[in-house]
Amino acid sequence: MHIVHTIAELRQQLSGFKRPAFVPTMGNLHEGHIALVRQARPLGDVTVSSIFVNRLQFAPHEDFDSYPRTLDADAQRLEAAGCDVVFAPREKDLYPEPQTFKVHPATDLSDILEGHFRPGFFIGVSTVVMKLFSCVFAGMPGGVAAFGKKDYQQVMVVRRMVQQFALPIEILAGETQRAEDGLALSSRNSYLTPEQRLEAVHLSQALRALGETARAVSGLPDLAALEAQAMQALARRGWKPDYLTVRRRADLMPPQGALADVPLVVLGAAKLGNTRLIDNLEI
C-alpha cells in the first residue's frame, strides 16, 4: 500500500488504472469505513481511500481542531482491508490557495435537517468531495465512490451532485455499521464518556420506536405529535435533540397522504453532553 500526500503523487500512483474504487474519509476510522473499503474494492481496479479533515464543513464553534487525527492507525487498518493507495493531503496540498470557488447544492435538499442546524455544512461537503473526485478520477473513464448511509442526507447530496454534473462515478451507499447494542458506529463516539456510551444507544432506540409507531398513525398531524413526543422523551434523558423526524426517502420531504404508500426514513440528531450524534433508519 502507498501513502501519498500531494495530488501529483496520487495521480502518479493511479496512472495505468482505469476504474478507481474510492472511499473518502476524515480519518479516525472504524469498522464502518473498513466495510466500505471491502464493499468498494471488487468494483474497481485500484482501491483508494482519502484521509482529510475538511475545514470547510466545520462551523467556527465545532470540533475541527479537536477532531482526532490517527493516520498511522488508520493506514494499518486500510492496508489490512486491501486498500492500495491512501491519499492523506495536508491542507496546503488540497487547498494551496483559499477555496473561493465552491459547490452550492440545491437548497431544497441542503438547507433542511443537517443543513438547517449546520448552515453551510453541505457547501463544504460538496466542495471537498468534488475536489477529491477531481484528484482521484481525473482522466479516468469511470469509477465508484463509497459513502456510508449513516450520513443519509450527505449521500443524497453527493448523488445529486454527481448526476447534475454528469460525473462518470457510481455512488455506492453502504449500510450503517452498528455496535452490538445498536449504536451506529461513528468517529465521534470516541468523545463519549463510559456513562454516555451506555446512554448513546437510546438515539437508535428512539428512532426505531418512532418508526414503528409512525406506520400506525392516520395523518400528518398525528405524525408531528409523535415526532414531538420522541424528542421530548429523549430530552428527559438529558439529550439536546435537534430533530427526530420521519421523511420520504426520495427527497427527505415530509410525507404526504397515507404513510404506507411511500418508502420512509426516520432521521435523528441530538447532543449527548458535548457530542452530537446522528442516525437514521429506513422503514
Catalytic residue positions, numbered: 33
Q: How far is the CA of 134 from the CAs of 56, 138, 168, 240, 279, in angstroms?
A: 17, 5, 11, 38, 29
* Strand 143-148 with 20-25, pairing: parallel
Locate all alpha helices (DSSP H) within 180-250, ordered by sequence: 194-214, 220-236
DSSP β-bridge partners for residue 281:
266
C-alpha cell, 97: 490557495
Cα 279 to Cα 149: distance, rounded to the nearest angstrom: 9
Q: Are 268 and 206 in contact (CB under 8 A)?
A: yes
The helix (run of H) or strand (run of E) holding residue 244 is strand 240-248
Rounded to whole angstroms, the Cα distance separating 94 from 116 reads 27
Cβ burial of 250 (10 Å; 0-12, 13-18, 19+) is exposed
| Backbone angles phi and psi of 28, in degrees to 5 | 50, 55
Are 190 and 216 a contacting pair, CB within 8 Å? Answer: no
CA–CA separation, 42 vs 172, rounded Å?
12
- DSSP bridge pairs for 3: 86
What is the C-alpha to C-alpha distance for residues 67 and 89, in angstroms, rounded to an integer? Answer: 16
